[in-house]
Amino acid sequence: MPELPEVETVRRGLSPAMEGRVIERVELRRADLRFPFPDDFVKRLEGSKINRLGRRAKFLMGELSSGELLTMHLGMTGRFSIQGKGFEIFEHSAGDNPKHDHVVFHMQDEVTITFNDPRRFGFMELYKEGEAEASKRFSELGPEPLSNHFSPEYLEQVLRGKSSPIKNTLLDQRIVAGLGNIYVCEALFRSGISPTRKSSTIKGKLAARLVPVIKDVIREAIDAGGSSISDFAQTDGKLGYFQHSFFVYGKEDEPCTTCAKPIERISQSGRSTFFCSSCQK
């Protein structure tokens, strides 16, 4: 599933095609994705200008001139492509069968943005002004990892008394928003912290070490265009390349780059965790 760096990469690719443009027409080619589309979805979008395309955690957030907010989640296999003057046209590959083109936004200036999602775990929602902030989906999200709010002091405070493994806790979107399995594995390795370590023990020097490493990993991944593990690609069809910088993720039995001991894989809450038991304590 795309994590924060991938969603931010998509946001940056979509912004020139969406921000400041009116949605002239919307095609819905099915009644639902993961969830049914909101009532009057097409009617509420058509004629509205997207004033700003932002991101919160793993959501794209389109602020509309109507005062409503369009939120979009990529799910596991969702991706956008752009066609139009001034944009590189991405032709569908075998993995992007046009039969999975479920939503098409026809923007002004003959720009077309298509959402393709083979597994249909993505979804789109519309919120009236002020509703999103009050909704459970967004009101319980923790701070963004690149924000000033996400600090060693904050992390130490929210981890106090938590007995769960630090890997599991960092995946809790109420603790920090947008982190996923890949980048937590990589950040814990770079920090020398075991994924099984009790969360409440991450304080003082450990918290001061972990927070900036998380920020570095996220920034590097964004700069690299995200990680293309299976389905993810940017809006112009190009792949991210941060996967070439992985130290542990997906590298079970390969030698650790630091100590040469084989990288191990364990399961935590149903997800694979990759780590070096020698370097991470």
Catalytic residues: 2-3, 58, 271
Cβ distance 168 to 197 under 8 Å?
A: no
Q: By C-alpha distance, which of 89, 84, 109 is closest to 23?
A: 109
**Tell me, what amino acid is at 66?**
S
Q: How far apart are CA 236 and CA 274, in angstroms?
A: 31
Q: By C-alpha distance, which of 60, 56, 40 is closest to 48?
A: 40
Q: How far apart are CA 87 and CA 82, in angstroms?
A: 7
| Strands 79-83 and 264-268, bridge-based pairing | unpaired
**Tell me, what amino acid is at 165?**
P
Q: How far apart are CA 154 and CA 175, in angstroms?
A: 9
